[in-house]
Structure formats: C-alpha cells, structure tokens
Amino acid sequence: MACPKCGNYSITRDTTKTHQCPYCGYVMRIEEVTIIARAKNGKEAREIILKLKTPKELRRP
Ligand SMILES: [Zn+2]
C-alpha cells in the first residue's frame, strides 16, 4: 500500500485494521489507503515493493 502522507510503499496484512508507515510513522487505516497490489505471501510482497520503490530524490514532498 502507499502511505497517504509520504507516498512510500509498505507491506501489511489483510487481517490488520491499521498500519504504521515505516518511513514517516503515520498510522493509516487500511480502508482509507490505496492497495497497490495483493500478494500471496511475504516473498511476493517484497518483490512487488522492490518494483514499486521510488528513489528518494523522486519522492513527493
Ligand atoms: Zn508514510
């Protein structure tokens, strides 16, 4: 999912209701954020994140 505050991508599980962004610390509710992709397992999720990851210099302010 993408953090609505800083725009970075992070992984969470469908079973959780809230998720704290590891980058800016913002606690988001799962229902308010954009789900970029769904992965069957942690390995697949990490691969998706690696593909999506935005370089620091391209990050939105
Ligand atoms: Zn964030």
Does residue 61 register a pLDDT over 80? no
Q: Distance of CA 41 to CAs 2, 12, 27, Å?
A: 18, 11, 23
Percent of the residues in the chain that have a pLDDT greater than 70, as a whole number: 87
**Residues whose Cβ atom is located within 5 A of ion ligand 1:** 3, 5-6, 21, 23-24, 26
Per-domain residue ranges of the chain? 1-61
Q: pLDDT, tens digit, for every residue of 16-35?
A: 899 999 999 999 998 888 88
Q: Is residue 4 within 8 Å of 33, Cβ to Cβ?
A: yes
> pLDDT grade, residue 54 (50/70/90)?
low
Residue 44 Cα to ligand 1 midpoint, Å, equals: 21
What is the distance between the alpha carbons of residues 26 and 42, in angstroms, rounded to a whole number?
22
Tell me the whole-structure pTM to 2 decimals: 0.65
